[in-house]
Amino acid sequence: MNFLSPTALWFLGLIAPVVVFYLLKRRRTVKLVASTLLWQRFLAENQANAPFQKLRKNWLLLLQILLLILAVLALTRPYFSSQTKVGRLRIVILDASASMQAVDETPNRFEKARAEALTLVDSLQDDDQMVVLVAGASTEVRQSATAGKAALRRAIQAAAAGESPTRLRDAIKLADTLAKANVPKNDDKELATNSPPNAEIHLYTDGAVGDLSEFENKGLNLVYHRVGQRGNNAGIVQLDLRQNPENRRQRALYVSVGNYSSNALDSLLELRFDNQLLEARPIKVPPGETAALVFLPQQAKDGVFHVKLAAEDDLAVDNEAFIPSILPRPIRVLLVSKGNRFLEKALRSAPEVELATATDLSSPPNGFDLLVLDDVLPSVWPKIPTLAIRTAPTNWFDANGSVEAPAVVDWRGSHPLLRYVSFDAVQVAETTRIKTPSWAQSILEATETPLIIAGELDGRRIVWIGFDTLNSTWPLRISFPIFVANAVEWLNPSPDRAGQLVVRPGDPWRAPLASDTAKATLTLPDGTKKELVPVAGQRELVIGDTTHRGIYRFKSGTNETVFTASLLDSAESNIRPRDQLSVGKLGEVAANTGRNASKELWRWIAVAALGVLMFEWWFYHRRTA
């Protein structure tokens, strides 16, 4: 047994005054007599006696001494120490993701995790230290290694749960690094790969941590504190916006709802546009499944669609989602060609394209959104997105001769440029031999050289085709106009695409800047405005303050861009607590909400002292009754 306040043992010296008071106590016997005259001599003799009496057996004295001993023992705060080593480093990781706002704990999961972490702080011994990490949108070190319990409590109490998806892998990686840095100098070298035994990583989460296979052989000394009681939740897990192909005046809004509870979901899905209710539809989702609805609203102006699920569950963060909708604007395209009718016709058939043609390019193409070069070598290379067909030599890559009749062997069908595009039965007469540069990837491969490459160079997107399309059978295939339409959509630099204006909470958003922008303003969902000062000559601004879901407004000069943050994460909406964490294929960490630690006994001793006090009161009144 150890004592947190051993100096309180000095109070045991109070036993001596208690005994002295009993020695001085005058003991009188009650007698019934006829007259006090006979007692005068006895009183005189009694007053002449010394004040100190012989100490006799007295149960009240023993009870009072026992009471004093118990009170002093409680003041010393005795405790039984655990079997762990003295001088440990405890690294606390608080999961501050969206799922920790679930209210199946009182008042929510994060508050429960915070309370358990504060209890762990109270169990620290004098030589122990603790680090506090908060894993939200990014891992934040709230408190570096310290033994000061007051500082640790302030750090934990100042933490708060956010609305971002779970990102615990980076937090565990940082904790592992801190644990290894705590290895004593005289320890074995093998601890360089495993966490030292005197360092513990305490993870407070509901278990939705993702893939931890990279820690399989790290020897983590990980303690998993599971938080959460149930998985009663349903949420919006997918939201997409497209133009209705059957009616260009309508927008097609695709919404997917996942039900992760054990009961069927029977609720309403509301659609709003700029806070105006457009439609409310019933939706039924069986337990453990997802269901989708498609809305086809009319849209007359730019705005934000807001979808809300009217479900009563344990997590409210995923019941709302936002997506901006910008009306299509014409894409100004300049075609520089000597007369490729197939290419010109394909460009004119692409949606929202305003096409201009030229035979050469002797000046920068000002006023255009993208440039198409067809077998033309410009005197001035453009600074806008470019589709270049058999345009060599350039400074984009090294060209080395040509290849006759290259055979198409593979293409990257997952790339947006090749969506619904097939190169079956496409024959090419000749192509330029190149090596794929570092800034691009090959999306169409021949046996000896890439035929089409795509990438981003100096802040602009580029698609390069190494062969003359007129010397191939490709323009005769339906895949050719589809590829041209895909290229226009992929190269279009306009930020009006819905997918570019939606981020998850905590993810950065890249805001384009005009060259003369000196100051920009960001309005947060709660109405707070922040002034941003771009660096001179900066072409874009990375905005990282997106930790809350809702509508953000970015104003640069006279231009204002609206973007939104929505959770849209099925893994985060599945709030069912995990009983164990999987660390690779062979490793598992079971939940351990209770753990042997230094246990203080003063509360039980104080209860015993109170019991002795009550017994003394009863015994005294019983004796004198």
Segments forming the whole domain that contains residue 279? 234-327+568-573
**CA–CA dist 250, 112 (Å, integer):** 47
Q: Does residue 48 carry a pLDDT above 50?
A: no
Position with higher pLDDT, 565 vs 581: 565
**CA–CA dist 213, 250 (Å, integer):** 46
Mean pLDDT of 416-424: 92
On whether the CB atoms of residues 353 and 369 are closer than 8 A, the answer is: no
**CA–CA dist 301, 326 (Å, integer):** 8
Question: Cα 548 vs. chain centroid, distance in angstroms?
Answer: 11
Count how many domains the chain has. Answer: 5
In a domain, 169, yes or no: yes
Q: For position 2, what pLDDT does the model report?
A: 72
Task: Give the per-residue SS3 of 549-575.
Answer: CEEEEEEECCEEEEEEECCCCHHHHCC
Do both 523 and 588 map to the same domain?
A: no
* Least confident window among 1-15, 26-40, 491-505: 26-40
Q: What's the pLDDT tens digit per position in 6-24? A: 888 888 888 888 777 776 6
| DSSP H or E stretch at residue 457 | strand 450-457
Q: List CB contacts of 205: < 8 A, sequence separation 6 or more.
A: 93, 95, 100, 113, 166, 168, 224, 225, 226, 227
pLDDT band (50, 70, 90) for residue 195 = low
The DSSP call for residue 192 is: G
Do both 320 and 450 map to the same domain?
A: no
Do both 321 and 394 map to the same domain?
A: no
Do both 158 and 277 map to the same domain?
A: no
What phi, psi does 369 have (nearest 5°)? -85, -35
Q: Mean pLDDT for the chain?
A: 85
Residue ending a domain, among 47, 78, 109, is 78
Mean pLDDT of 490-511: 79
Q: For position 188, what pLDDT does the model report?
A: 47
CA angle 477, 483, 488 (to 5 degrees): 145
Q: Does residue 127 carry a pLDDT above 90?
A: no
**CA–CA dist 125, 115 (Å, integer):** 19
Q: For position 585, what pLDDT does the model report?
A: 59
Q: What's the pLDDT tens digit per position in 510-548? A: 887 766 677 889 999 999 999 998 887 777 888 999 999
Do both 181 and 281 map to the same domain?
A: no
Q: For position 292, what pLDDT does the model report?
A: 95
Mean pLDDT of 153-175: 93
Bridge partners, 358 (sequence order): 336
Question: Cα 13 vs. chain centroid, distance in angstroms?
Answer: 57
Q: Does residue 381 carry a pLDDT above 80?
A: no
**CA–CA dist 246, 243 (Å, integer):** 9
**CA–CA dist 460, 588 (Å, integer):** 46
Q: For position 574, what pLDDT does the model report?
A: 94
Do both 372 and 432 map to the same domain?
A: yes
Tokens of 193: 């790969």
**Which 3 state secondary structure label does DSSP give 3?**
strand
Q: Does residue 445 carry a pLDDT above 80?
A: yes
What phi, psi does 472 have (nearest 5°)? -150, 170
Do both 246 and 174 map to the same domain?
A: no
In a domain, 110, yes or no: yes
**Rg (alpha carbons) of the chain, rounded to whole number:** 39
- For residue 315, give the nearest of 108, 551, 568, 116 by alpha carbon: 108
In a domain, 162, yes or no: yes
In a domain, 62, yes or no: yes
Backbone angle region of 288, left / alpha / beta, with phi > 0 → left and psi within -120 to 50 → alpha: left
Q: Does residue 389 carry a pLDDT above 70?
A: yes
* Least confident window among 246-250, 580-584, 588-592: 588-592
Report the percent of the chain where pLDDT is more than 70: 86
Q: Does residue 32 carry a pLDDT above 80?
A: no
Which residue shows structure tokens 């350039």? 394
Q: What's the pLDDT tens digit per position in 290-343? A: 999 999 999 989 999 999 999 999 999 999 999 999 887 889 999 999 889 999
pLDDT band (50, 70, 90) for residue 40 = low
pLDDT band (50, 70, 90) for residue 187 = very low
The domain that holds 432 is classified in CATH as 3.40.50.880
Mean pLDDT of 131-160: 94
Do both 201 and 277 map to the same domain?
A: no
Q: Does residue 272 carry a pLDDT above 50?
A: yes
Q: What's the pLDDT tens digit per position in 453-462? A: 999 988 789 9
In a domain, 618, yes or no: no
Position with higher pLDDT, 26 vs 597: 26
* Least confident window among 89-98, 231-240, 362-371, 408-417: 362-371
The domain that holds 318 is classified in CATH as 2.60.40.10
* Least confident window among 80-94, 154-168, 283-297, 345-359: 80-94
Most confident residue range from 80-94, 235-249, 338-352? 338-352
On whether the CB atoms of residues 297 and 307 are closer than 8 A, the answer is: no
In a domain, 279, yes or no: yes
In a domain, 612, yes or no: no
In a domain, 584, yes or no: yes
Do both 150 and 46 map to the same domain?
A: no
On whether the CB atoms of residues 201 and 225 are closer than 8 A, the answer is: no
On whether the CB atoms of residues 130 and 145 are closer than 8 A, the answer is: yes
Do both 198 and 94 map to the same domain?
A: yes
Q: For position 505, what pLDDT does the model report?
A: 94
Q: For position 192, what pLDDT does the model report?
A: 46
Report the percent of the chain where pLDDT is more than 90: 52
- For residue 55, give the nearest of 29, 28, 19, 80 by alpha carbon: 19
Q: Does residue 26 carry a pLDDT above 70?
A: no
Question: Cα 607 vs. chain centroid, distance in angstroms?
Answer: 44
**CA–CA dist 98, 94 (Å, integer):** 12
* Least confident window among 94-103, 303-312, 495-504, 565-574: 495-504
The domain that holds 201 is classified in CATH as 3.40.50.410
Do both 246 and 281 map to the same domain?
A: yes
Cβ-count burial 213-244 (b if 16+ within 10 Å, e if not): eebeebbbbbbbbbbbbebbbbbbbebebebb
* pTM of structure: 0.68
Do both 113 and 167 map to the same domain?
A: yes
Q: List CB contacts of 196: < 8 A, sequence separation 6 or more.
A: 179, 180, 182, 183, 184, 187, 221
Residue ending a domain, among 59, 78, 97, is 78
* Least confident window among 52-66, 525-539, 575-589: 52-66
